Amino acid sequence: MGPKGRVRVFAYSQPCDMRKSFNTLSGLVSSMGHDVASGDVFAFVSRNKKRAKVLWYDGNGLCLLAKRLDEGRFAALWGGAASGVELSMSELSLLVEGCTLVGRVPLSPPRVDTERAGRVSATDFR
């Protein structure tokens, strides 16, 4: 269960009202300049940082994961670009687990641009 394959993850860059559900969160995704049906994953954190929601489209409908922490707080990924803060899937997992380092220090290596990196061929090993 959860997003499959290679997806991009964006965290909403402002505190979010956790009473919002599928449609209003989709509207926030549109205000970020993204399409909710693109297959990307979108994370939202409440003002008090005790609740978070993750929204994604799985190909035939919207999925919404909600979590409330009993202790501690979620990382606040606020103040970033209007298009949201981009995370890796590993960073999203850490965010949902309550790790406070997400968004403060780089936790993942930079994404490799496969177009510029080129491909390895058999002739490279002769």
> pLDDT, tens digit, for every residue of 8-29?
899 998 999 999 999 999 999 9
pLDDT band at 115 (very low <50, low <70, confident <90, very high): low
The predicted pLDDT at position 53 comes to 95
Contacts of residue 46, defined as CB under 8 A and 6 or more positions apart, other chains included, come to 15, 16, 17, 18, 52, 74
Residue 29 token pair: 């995704």
Q: Report the chain's C-alpha Rg in angstroms.
A: 16
| Residues 10-24: b if buried by 16+ CB within 10 A, e if exposed | bbbbbebebebeeee
The predicted pLDDT at position 100 comes to 75
Digit-coded pLDDT (tens) for 32-72: 999 999 989 999 999 999 999 999 998 889 999 999 999 88
Strand partners, 54: 43, 65
